[in-house]
Amino acid sequence: MALRLTVLGSGTIVPSQVRRATTLFVEGGSEDILIDCGPGSLQALEDAGRSYRDIHRILITHFHPDHTLGLGRLFSAVKNDTAVTERHWIVIYGPLGLEKFISGWNELYGNVVPDDDILNLVAMEPGYEIDIGDMMITAGPADHGGRPALAYRIDMAGRSIVYTGDTSRSDGLDRFASGADLLVSECSFPDESPAEGHMTPATVGEMASAAGAGEVLLVHMYPFFGETDPAAEVRRRFRGKVTTGRDGLVIEV
């Protein structure tokens, strides 16, 4: 079975009629993986014909609200959905500080976080590997303005997907993405309006070229781009296929 990626959201924290906050869904092997859990992600799963009840492993890139607000709904759903059995389980992986971040949901909403017999938390640093059935997931370096953040690589049967999360370009990230069949990269702002801890089309193209990626998928685009397609600028520096992400897009790797 090939790796199959569904873009549940391709945007940011800024509301949009066409883009939910960036969240990815990866199918392959014996288990499915949710990468980040932004606002609207659970409904996007339903729209894709899937259910949050099928998700047992979640990778969190960092703790900003556009990547994590869906966790509160997930926790509440688990506690209130009569279709959830006592054997239900969830593992959330994320950067250092994950335990403190998750416990904060109880401070906001009372006893909303599932008990330890349901929820397991795994805080990671770059280089940490997770063996899940046929998949090998590796945490990688991300530079998001000094905040705890991770990139992720998923390898299965000789195919690979790398997701940068929110980050600026670095030599370490270039190496981490080396040879990726699909490089899913944040592309937050136009080249003329860069921001710390984020990438522009030019830096995405340079990273993809340096990494020798097979294909690039752009996500996490702010409305600053307007009607301009950032893929055109990426192609000036990268000769492979470049796709501008949209909600609901499915790519098989």
CA 167 to chain centre: 12
pLDDT, tens only, 151-188: 999 999 999 999 999 999 999 999 999 999 999 999 99
- 185, with CB counted inside 10 A (0-12, 13-18, 19+), is buried
Confidence of residue 193 (pLDDT cuts 50, 70, 90): very high
Task: Please give the single-letter amino acid code of residue 160.
Answer: S
* Residue that the structure tokens 């590796």 belong to: 138
Confidence of residue 2 (pLDDT cuts 50, 70, 90): confident
pLDDT, tens only, 195-204: 999 999 999 9
Q: Which range (1-5, 87-91, 143-147, 181-185) has the least confidence?
A: 1-5
pLDDT, tens only, 12-69: 999 999 999 999 999 987 899 999 999 999 999 999 999 999 999 999 999 999 999 9
Position 82 pLDDT exceeds 70 = yes
- 76, with CB counted inside 10 A (0-12, 13-18, 19+), is middle
pLDDT, tens only, 208-231: 999 999 999 999 999 999 889 999
pLDDT, tens only, 103-130: 999 999 989 999 999 999 999 999 999 9
pTM > 0.85: yes
Position 1 pLDDT exceeds 80 = no
**Torsion angle in degrees (nearest 10) through CA of 50, 43, 200, 240:** 20
**Torsion angle in degrees (nearest 10) through CA of 125, 199, 35, 39:** 120
The answer to whether 176 and 139 are in contact (CB under 8 A) is no
The pLDDT of residue 122 is 98
